[in-house]
Amino acid sequence: MDKMVYVERLLAHPEYRDLQKEIEQLEADRIYCKHEFSHSLDVCRIAWILFLEEQIASAKAGDLHGAGLLEWKERIYLTGLLHDIGRVAQYQTGEHHGEAGRRIARRLLDEIGCPDVWREEILFVVALHFGRDGEQMQPGTLGDYICRADHSSRNCFLCSASETCKWLEAEKNKTITE
């Protein structure tokens, strides 16, 4: 598949890189789920798998190819890479990372020349990706894939902080599915 042009621009953006490093430093002693770059990349890749699995399983398989498929992939990766970018602001000022993330992501997306038709949906998902497994997202949308991937990326079955985690027992992942 062709290169993801906007994703490459985001990865090269100095502010994006700095924020990722800051998240890692601020969470160095955190015992619960962290939000560093590898988490964001897990979310991108799981969301892409979920999308592809649904394409294969449904009558839509074969409908999407070439440019359409690459657009989906790039929108998924941009959103996954940006979904927790507001964490630094949350730790520093108490502002929720969804809202802070929307503000920061809007500027970053502008600066990398993100297509106008993608921008508002990506920002909507960045702002509202938290909550109970994306219940506010419509099935089969960008937000649905990102929220399910965000949840599924957590390896609760191996976590030593599971006892005091705020997730309800029923929410905790007991195995891997993607």
Footprint of Fe ion (CB under 5 A): 84, 130, 150
Number of Cβ atoms within 10 Å of the Cβ of 130: 15
For the four alpha carbons of 158, 163, 166 and 167, in that order, the dihedral sign comes to positive
CB of 43 to Fe ion, least distance (A): 6
**Least CB distance to Fe ion at residue 89 (A):** 12
DSSP string computed for 26-91? HTTT--S---SHHHHHHHHHHHHHHHHHHHHHSTTTTT--THHHHHHHHHHHHHHHHTTTTHHHHH
Residue closer to Fe ion, measured from CB, 27 or 150:
150
By beta-carbon proximity to Fe ion, the closer residue of 36 and 84 is 84
**CA 68 to CA 70: how far, in whole Å?**
6
Specify the residue, 70 or 103, whose C-beta has the smaller distance to Fe ion.
103
CB of 130 to Fe ion, least distance (A): 5
Q: Which CB sits closer to Fe ion, 27 or 84?
A: 84
CB of 97 vs Fe ion, minimal distance in Å: 6
